[in-house]
A and B are shown apart, each in its own frame.
Chain A
Amino acid sequence: MIQFIKHLVRFVIFASAQALVFNQLEIDYGIQFMIYPLFIFLLPYDLNIFLSLLISFLFGLTIDSISNTYGLHASSAVLIAYIRPHIFKLFEPRDSYDPGIELSLQTMEFRWVISVFSLLLLIHHFWFFLLEIFKFNELLFVFQKTILSLPFSIVICILIQTIFLRKTKMK
């Protein structure tokens, strides 16, 4: 129950922060800050995949409806929710994950978090910008946006993890 409320609160905070704050920060060269993949990343890793797909869909749709992007965020959110378990399996440590643990910077190694999270973000960004632009003759622009936005999103998400997630450490 506590878990449920915690994730519900995160849902609201991440969605409003993305739509009302980070989508308003606009720098040129097509750089965009994405923090909402962090919410999907932080869902319990043993959560039923049906549930996590549905949650991500709703989550993306919430952001879409505030920021006038109509299904763009929903599509990318569902994609990474689907890919997430596969990537976790790919980077599984030798003695597998401890059950019930939250996979974040507090419980896992820095290297693990960086590699898993940036891979997820890379897929997310590429898919997002590909859909947003949706022209093959502007493919270079898609790459430019992806590559330029990626470091910004990663740094912001790592900062959020180190600053705000400290209390949930070690139950």
Chain B
Amino acid sequence: MRKLFAFFRRFQVFLLFIGLQSLALYIYFSFMSFPKTQVLTSTNIVTGKILLVKNDVTKLFNLSNSNLKLQRENIKLRQKNPISFIQITRNTVKIDDTLFHQQYEYIPATVINSTFDKRNNYFTLNVGSLQGIERNMGVFSDAGVVGVVHFVSKHFAIVKSVLTADINIDVMIEGTDAFGLLKWDGTHARFGQISGISNDLRIKKWRKVVTRGGSGLFPKGIPVGKVYNISSIEGQPLWDVTILFSEDYRKIQRVYVIKNFLKTEQEKIESLIPEDIIE
């Protein structure tokens, strides 16, 4: 017993070091795999407040730019407004429209903290469960898809952005109907990859890449980027497709969170698919 105490006394510094180090690593890796450590993130009320103040200061630097973006989007929407169409047929019939159910609702939000040069980048939004944000909601901006809500507190939400290794949003290349999963290799914030595109498909450069809308996170057709480069992977019948993101994630400010009214229904029916029997 005395020897044990002597051992502890001799290595007490090292043991404390190991203790603290493993605590830090535990926090780090448990976050990487599963969001348990809500206390230590910027969804926490204290650091959230700090970031809000910081955003209040820095958002003004980009004010003219964001105004321009909003204006452009307004023009786009205004063009779709019935006022801007000339009515051709006069004999209209009033229909109480039950053909179209609203499936998606959009909640506006501001990015108050973001990074783009880490291996995995997370954005903090200024909306939370009070505004009806839930885990696994899609997030996009006027230029393109941004990410998926990773976790939520009362006033803030953290988004796992497109700039993470395994974002895995299902996307498709317009015109060819080829689809694959979106990846990011961590090198440059403007370029991403699509995996799982079979190399017997012919893919042209600068084709638009949009979301496929399969998982119910995003509606179909939200822009992601454009095909930038295609090369073959050795030993696999797949293309290595590099895309240029349409959104510049280094300057992102205004985003929308997607609420899908039919998501639970889709999940429910998809859970009826029998699981593959593993042999």
Contacts and interface: CB of A to CB of B under 8 A. Distances in A.
Does A pair with B? yes
A78 B42 contact: no
Interface in A37-71: 49-50, 53-54, 57, 60-61, 64-71
Given A60-B24, A68-B158, A26 B115 contact: yes
Given A20-B54, A71-B24, A71-B26, A132 B117 contact: no
A75 B28 contact: yes
Contacts of B24: 57, 60-61, 71-72, 74-75, 78
Contacts of A61: 24, 40
Contact of A68 (B50, B115, B117): B115
Contact of A71 (B12, B31, B42): B31
A28 B24 CA distance: 27
B189 interface: yes
A59 to B, nearest CB: 12
Contacts of B32: 70
Nearest to A149: B117
B47 A53 contact: no
A131 interface: yes
A109 interface: no
Chain B residues touching A, range: 35 or more
Contacts of B31: 70-71
Is chain A's interface secondary structure helix, strand, loop, or mixed overall?
A: helix
Most buried by B among A30, A66, A134: A66
A28 B117 contact: yes
Contacts of B119: 132-134
Interface in A124-150: 131-134, 138, 141
B257 to A, nearest CB: 18
Interface of A: 16, 20, 23-24, 26-28, 30-32, 49-50, 53-54, 57, 60-61, 64-72, 74-75, 78-79, 82, 131-134, 138, 141
Interface of B: 12-13, 16-17, 20-21, 23-28, 31-32, 37, 40-42, 44, 47, 50-51, 54, 58, 113, 115-119, 122, 124, 158, 186-189, 250
29 contacts: A26-B250, A28-B117, A28-B188, A31-B117, A50-B12, A50-B16, A53-B20, A57-B23, A65-B40, A66-B51, A68-B41, A68-B158, A70-B31, A70-B32, A70-B40, A71-B23, A71-B24, A72-B28, A74-B23, A74-B27, A75-B21, A75-B25, A78-B20, A78-B21, A79-B21, A82-B17, A131-B28, A132-B119, A133-B186
